[in-house]
Amino acid sequence: MNNTNILKRLYRDYTSRFLKKILISVFFSILLAGSTSAIAYLLDPAIKKIFLEKDQTLILIIPALIIIAFTIKGLSLYLAKVIMINVATEVSRNIQCDMFRSLINADTQLIENKHSGKFISNLTNDVNMITNLVSTAILNLFKDSLTLIGLLTVMFFQNWKLSIIALIMIPLASFAARSLGKRMGKVSTQQMVEAGFLNTFLIEVFKNHKLIKIFQKENYENSRAEKFIDAVRVKAQKIAIVFVRASPIMEVLTGIMIGILIFYSGKLIINDELNINNFFSFLAAMMLAYQPVRSLATLNIAISQGLASARRILPIIDDKNKIVDNKDSSEIKLINGDINFKDIYFQYNNNETQVLKSVNLNILGGKMTSLVGHSGAGKSTILNLIPRLYDCTSGDIMIDNQSIYKSTIYSLRKNISLVSQDTTLFDDTVKNNIAYANFNASQKEIEEAAKYSYADEFIDKLPNKYDTIIGENGIKLSGGEKQRLSIARAILKKSPIILLDEATSSLDSETESKIQKAINFLTKNRTTIVIAHRLSTILNSDKIYVIEGGKVISEGSHKELLLNSSVYKNFYEKQIKKN
């Protein structure tokens, strides 16, 4: 996408709806330009009539007009900026909402391929750059262009010869500022990248602060933090230096311009070709033109930064999900909850090796089916394919003889609950974490779900019970307590298909016993697929599949597998007989 297309896209999607407000801001910019030009022009009659001709009739009128001109200038500038601030905040809000909407609906693979810290940097820093482009840059373009035109009119009115000299100098100043702007755009892009790395680092540190303390890596992380912070500092310093570099260049060019003008004006005044009042009015107009010239010359800084940010954000907003409903998709209707995998192959990317190879599973509705195998065998991938968190490369998955790929994603996921070892909770109340499954649930239903998951035992001991804030990802709770909340949430959803991914791992025996009872209630008469390293939790499964290297190598009941599967027997002997 080239710069022109990006600008057209930003106008069409985010700026055009505020066209009326922008035009009002342009109107105030016209008043600003007119009042600024009037200030420069009024110096002509002020000097001529009051100071040279000593005309008493204008001694009050001209100062009053100058006061009025400054008042109009101040109010116009204020109102133009306030209107564009409102536009800017709305544009920022809309871009952030569009980006968040795209991310929250994005395929799981997109989110997993990029660290959340970089997405946060996109949502904050990059959006601010784009907002600056579509709002501040627009205001400055109109405000400063109109002001410069007005002041140039005054300058030509006073003396066209001096104006031509000034016009020769203005492009030189513009060229110098524009070259700095290109450098600024490049450095600011680098700063955004470094800011993304810093965000990524900070999230990792805050998430793993206990690990850092246990392994005594505070000094190591401090040194890493200094590197990331210094990288951002260096880029920010470069931006600031490049920006202020414009000041001495502009000052020198302005000094040269004024020096030449005074020299040439002196010649004209001596030869009676220019009056002193005309000179001062011209000089005032030229000095007032200094700010808009500099602003317009450096406008490409904001444009370059905004375009660079847009190139990072728009692809995220435009990202098209690969996992979508087909045109002929219909709502899935569960009767028994039978799930069948038919010759399933899966790989995460086209150039990667197959994770699953010709997997065939027959999962009976209302029964418990377990998946056993070494880490990396493909068990979690099988689970993730059922709610279409990923789509298989080839093959089909049927639920009650209905292909999940011909069913709407919403109706499919509505019938599925997932309880994982990586329990995900929000920095919110206990009540809201349970009710996340059903915001319409009553307090009684929430309490019943907590009761059946044995979560009520610790909830009643919390300071505010169900209204207790549990911290980021339930940091104030133990692993078992978090797991019970996760089960309560699944119970409240009342879905006919339950996916359990290592739900009882890393727990003490007493907590495991309670969670196992909660799971038994959750999975009663429901289609349940379980992944567990502890075979003690799956011995009563109706069917067990042994997964190895992305393939099903054995299947049957616990007793059958002990007789027929050396891999399963090895698992069993290591875990059961040695205890």
pLDDT of residue 380: 85
Q: What is the pLDDT of residues 224-270, one digit of tens each?
A: 888 878 887 777 777 777 666 666 766 777 777 778 878 888 888 88
The CA distance from 131 to 94, in Å, is 10
Whether residue 304 is predicted with pLDDT greater than 70 in this model: the reply is yes
- CATH number of the structural domain 3-318: 1.20.1560.10
| pLDDT confidence tier of residue 75, bands split at 50, 70 and 90 | very high
Predicted local distance difference test score (pLDDT) of residue 179:
65
Structure tokens at 240: 């600031």
Residue 315 has pLDDT above 60, yes or no: yes
For residue 227, the number of C-alpha atoms closer than 13 Å in the C-beta half-sphere is 8
The ranges of the chain annotated as CATH 1.20.1560.10 are 3-318
pLDDT score recorded for residue 297: 67
DSSP result, 134-178: IIIHHHHHHHHHHHHHHHHHHHHHH-HHHHHHHHHHHHHHHHHHH
Residue 59's CB: how many other CB atoms inside 10 A? 13
pLDDT reported for residue 512: 66
Give every CB contact of residue 564 below 8 A, 6+ residues apart in sequence. Answer: 554, 556
CA dist 529 and 9 (Å) reads 47
Average pLDDT for 542-568? 85
Q: Which residue has the higher pLDDT, 206 or 138?
A: 138
Of all helices (H) and strands (E), which one includes residue 551?
strand 551-556
Q: With pLDDT > 70 as the criterion, what percentage of the chain qualifies? A: 87
What confidence score (pLDDT) does residue 210 get?
Answer: 64
- Which of 507, 552, 559, 514 has the alpha carbon at shortest distance from 534? 507
Please determine, for residue 347, whether its predicted confidence score (pLDDT) is greater than 60: yes
Q: Where are the CATH 3.40.50.300 domain residues in the chain?
A: 339-577
Secondary structure element (H or E) that encloses residue 226, with its range: helix 218-270
Per DSSP, the residues of 437-472 read: G-TT--HHHHHHHHHHTT-HHHHTTSTTGGG-B--G
H helices within 275-361, ranges in order? 276-288, 290-297, 299-318
C-beta separation of 296 from 144 below 8 A: yes
Tens of pLDDT, residue by residue over 175-196, are: 665 666 566 666 766 776 777 7
- Torsion from C-alpha of 427, 428, 432, 437, nearest 10 degrees: -10
Question: 339-577 adopts what CATH topology?
Answer: Rossmann fold (3.40.50)
Q: Which has more pLDDT, 507 or 473?
A: 473
Mean pLDDT of the chain: 80
41 CB contacts (<8 Å, ≥6 apart)?
154, 157, 281, 285
Express as a percent the part of the chain with pLDDT over 90.
3
Q: What average pLDDT does range 277-296 have in this prediction? A: 77
pLDDT digit string, tens, across residues 268-285: 888 877 777 777 888 787
Phi first, then psi: give them for residue 166, nearest 5 degrees.
-60, -40
Closest CA to 269 of 282, 255, 254, 287: 282
Sign of the CA dihedral with 67 first, then 69, 74, and 79 last = positive
Q: To 5 degrees, how large is the angle CA 315–CA 137–CA 235?
A: 65
293 near 170, Cβ under 8 Å? Answer: yes
Q: How far apart are CA 430 and CA 452, in angstroms?
A: 15
| Model pLDDT for residues 18-31, shown as the tens digit of each residue | 889 888 988 998 89
The predicted pLDDT at position 15 comes to 84
Residue 480: C-alpha distances to residues 6, 487, 534 (Å): 50, 10, 16
- Give the residue with greater pLDDT, 197 vs 467: 467
In this prediction, residue 554 carries a pLDDT of: 86
pLDDT at residue 300 is higher than 80: no
The contacts of residue 134 (CB under 8 Å, 6+ apart) are: 10, 11, 14, 15, 88, 91, 306
Residue 403 corresponds to which tokens in the numbers above?
A: 């292909």
Segment 198-206 shows an average pLDDT of: 75
- Decide which of 551 and 503 is more confident: 551
Higher pLDDT, 505 or 485: 485
Which pLDDT does position 437 carry in this prediction?
A: 84
What pairing do the DSSP bridges indicate for beta strands 497-501 and 416-420?
parallel
